[in-house]
Amino acid sequence: MGIRKYEIDTDNPQMLSDEAIIRLNALNDRPIDYSDIPRSTPEELRAGRLLAIEMRKKQMFSLRLKKTTIEWWKSLGEGYTSIMARLLDEATRHPEWVKKCL
């Protein structure tokens, strides 16, 4: 058995209710019962590891942007391309953002 720690992001606009936070915090020191989870075979573990590696791979992508847009992103400093990538990833979970730009 293991201990699961929950981190609650209180800056999140979709913040949990006070009651939900209290219930989650009560679980912090409670062990998890793994007895109903079947053991994984070495083949299943290997397949899971390969899938995780494949999911982390990134693909190169080229994009044409206005010079002022590129300058703005570069003004964010080192790691600005990672920020751009995270924003695009987040946009896939928020189709309403994309609709605003169509």
pLDDT in tens, 80-101: 999 999 999 899 999 898 899 8
Query: Does the reported pTM lie above 0.95?
Result: no
Per the model's pLDDT, the better-predicted residue between 33 and 2 turns out to be 33
Q: Where are the alpha helices (DSSP H) in 3-101?
A: 18-26, 42-56, 67-74, 80-91, 95-101
Distance in angstroms between the alpha carbons of the first and the last residue of the chain: 50
Q: Are residues 45 and 71 in the same domain?
A: no
Q: Are residues 36 and 63 in the same domain?
A: no
Q: Are residues 21 and 7 in the same domain?
A: yes
Range of the domain at 74: 59-102
Per the model's pLDDT, the better-predicted residue between 24 and 63 turns out to be 63
Q: Are residues 65 and 30 in the same domain?
A: no
Tally of structural domains, the chain:
2
The single residue listed with the structure tokens 């929950």 is: 6
Give the tokens for residue 46. Answer: 């290997």
Q: Are residues 39 and 68 in the same domain?
A: no
Report residue 95 CA to chain centroid gap: 17
